[in-house]
Amino acid sequence: MKSAVRSPWLVLAIVLSLCLSLSFASWDAEDVGRGSRRWQEGGDEGRSGGSGRPYHFGQESYREWAKSRHGHFKVLERFDHELLRGSIGDYRVAYLDAAPRAFLQPSHHDADEIAFVREGEGVLVLLRNGKRESFCIREGDVIVIPAGSIVYSANTHRSKWLRVVMLINPVSTPGRFQEFFLIGSGDERPQSFLSVFSDEVIQAALNTRREDVDRVFESKSKGEGEIYEASEEQIRELSRSCSRGGRGGGGSGSEKEDIQPRSLTGEKPRYSNKHGRFHQITGDQCHHLRKLDMDVTLVNITRGSMTALKYTTRSTRIYVVVEGRDGYFEMACPHISSSGRSERREHEQEREREHGQGRRSEEREREQGRGRRSEEREQEQGHGREQEKSRGYRQVRAQIKVGSVIVLPAGHPATFVAGNDGNLALLSFGVGANNDEEVFVTGGNSVLKQLDEAAKALAFPQQARELADRVIRAQPESVFVAGPQQQRRVADM
């Protein structure tokens, strides 16, 4: 008897999950197909240019999830390349653009969201813990929206768009999230989730006739989808009670205080010089970020300048370019040196063939040693199987501009370079950030300065000992330094 009752539900559950996985499958298959094609395109490009795959995603990697005259919601394809899946495969990047006075229908997500207001101002209302919290948000703010909160929002500006970058961390299915609407938007999608319940359940649950329930939750006449325009008066009404949260009042670290928006750019930068500014909000300042094992940073690089070469010890950082048109990044990657060794090495071998042995072979041995180590590391991580012997590193590089997404995995040294057109600003979400550290390879705070004399004597070629000391000290600036264009005089020396 028991199983007879259960089985129809089981069948329904299977059918439902099949539907879901089918619709996801088509999305994913498309993603994967496009990804691998680009991967090949990018696979053999030279040291300059290149697509930067699988660490770089351009505008073409976003899909529209919702679109109307009054705004759109775009989601970046999944991080499902094998090199990324393990660290950030669960996360999604999304962009929300809302026109002046756009209103976004109440809904909840099965995901935590971390939002950064890139441009504009608005009101954001959260229904959670039996309460309504209404926040005024503005450019530079970071706000954490806990999974399951019912959220509605509006652009409160008359003429400026509201633009928000989000990192979405699904709580039920890794890398996949859904939006749930209680109130449908007329004949357009989305529909209300109430519509799938049976008449008798709905009538009993709401103590109301089905027709009336449908009239309330299903037949909105606007027909504009989930983003539409509010009147000025409605906007005024919505934003009347919004606040920045009573920062001064209650005990710090309380739940309420955690949710309120924090200005990432408004506070004193953690580091700054004439070449750039670095802002950060960590788990120490925001309990929710600590729980999510994340942090948020903003790196604002002055035009023509660059960041010192550095890597993170534990976090994988997902960067989204929020300002700038002509920057680029470079990263050293041991994993994708398969089809070739590092380009540099090939050049060197060629030169070697031309000029005979001598000093070159010493260098080569050192490089092979390095290569062997990275090869072992790859095999431990299970990437060794489909790779040929990998010796050395491959340069990953791509031009970047507003909207580009760059992933820097832990341990991978990298740099961002701003073009001459203007500043390059990058928002970044650190995943696995709680015990993270940044290690600077170059600059005034270079880790090389900590090598002791004995180790230096052993590690560097004997004939270059003094030169090594000079090189280690040559860059006086830290964190942000003059870029390649500004430093041309050094090359000329």
Residues near ligand NAG (CB under 6 A) are: 265, 300, 322-323, 423, 425
For the record, the structure tokens of 132 come out as: 């309504």
Q: How far is CA 197 from CA 72, 207, 370, in A?
A: 29, 14, 62
**Nearest distance in Å: CB 324, ligand NAG:** 9
Sequence-distant (≥ 6) Cβ neighbours of residue 33 within 8 angstroms: none
Min dist. Cβ of residue 419 to ligand NAG (A): 14
Q: Which is nearer to ligand NAG, 156 or 300 (CB)?
A: 300
Smallest gap from residue 159 Cβ to ligand NAG (A): 19
Nearer to ligand NAG, 230 or 322 (CB): 322
Helices (H), 44-171: 82-88
CB of 300 to ligand NAG, least distance (A): 4
| d(C-alpha 361, C-alpha 196), whole Å | 72
Which one, of 97, 87, 94, 91, lies nearest residue 67 by Cα? Answer: 97
Q: Given the complex with ligand NAG, which of 346 and 421 has the nearer CB atom?
A: 421
User: Between residues 300 and 404, which has the closer beta carbon with respect to ligand NAG?
Assistant: 300
Nearest Cα to Cα of residue 471 among 451, 188, 207: 451
Distance in angstroms (rounded) separating the CA atoms of residues 398 and 395: 10
Of the pair 190, 269, the CB lying nearest ligand NAG is at 269
Residue 113 CB, nearest distance to ligand NAG (Å)?
20
Residue whose CB is less far from ligand NAG, 309 or 425: 425
Cα separations in angstroms, 450 against 240, 361, 375, 440, 454 = 56, 29, 27, 11, 12
Beta bridge partners of 154: 103, 123
- Shortest Å, Cβ 118 to ligand NAG: 7
Chain position carrying tokens 């976090």:
315
Least distance to ligand NAG from the beta carbon of 488, Å?
24
Name which of 36 and 423 has its Cβ closer to ligand NAG.
423
Helix (H, G, I), strand (E, B) or coil at 349: helix
Of 427 and 431, CB closest to ligand NAG: 427
- 3-class state of residue 351 by DSSP: helix
Least Å distance between CB 167 and ligand NAG?
16
- Sequence-distant (6+) residues with CB within 8 A of 117 are 137, 138, 139, 140, 141, 142, 143, 162, 163, 164, 261
CB of 323 to ligand NAG, least distance (A): 5
Least CB distance to ligand NAG at residue 287 (A): 25
Residues 6+ apart with CB under 8 A from 270: 278, 279, 280
Q: Closer to ligand NAG at the Cβ: 117 or 151?
A: 117
Q: Identify the CA nearest to 246 among candidates 114, 126, 135, 139.
A: 135
CA angle 366, 371, 375 (to 5 degrees): 155
Q: Residue 449 has what DSSP assignment? A: G
Tell me which residue has tokens 């799938």: 196
Say how far apart CA 142 and CA 154 lie, in whole Å. Answer: 16
What is the H or E stretch that residue 246 is in?
none
Q: Which residues contact 476 (CB under 8 A, 6 or more apart)?
A: 444
When the beta carbons of 163 and 345 are compared against ligand NAG, the nearer one is 163
Instruction: Give the nearer residue to ligand NAG in terms of CB position, either 109 or 275.
Output: 275
User: Is the Cβ of residue 174 or residue 422 nearer to ligand NAG in the bound state?
Assistant: 422
Report the distance separating Cα 107 and Cα 112, nearest Å.
Answer: 13
Minimum Å gap between C-beta 19 and ligand NAG is 41
Least Cβ distance, residue 161 to ligand NAG (angstroms): 15
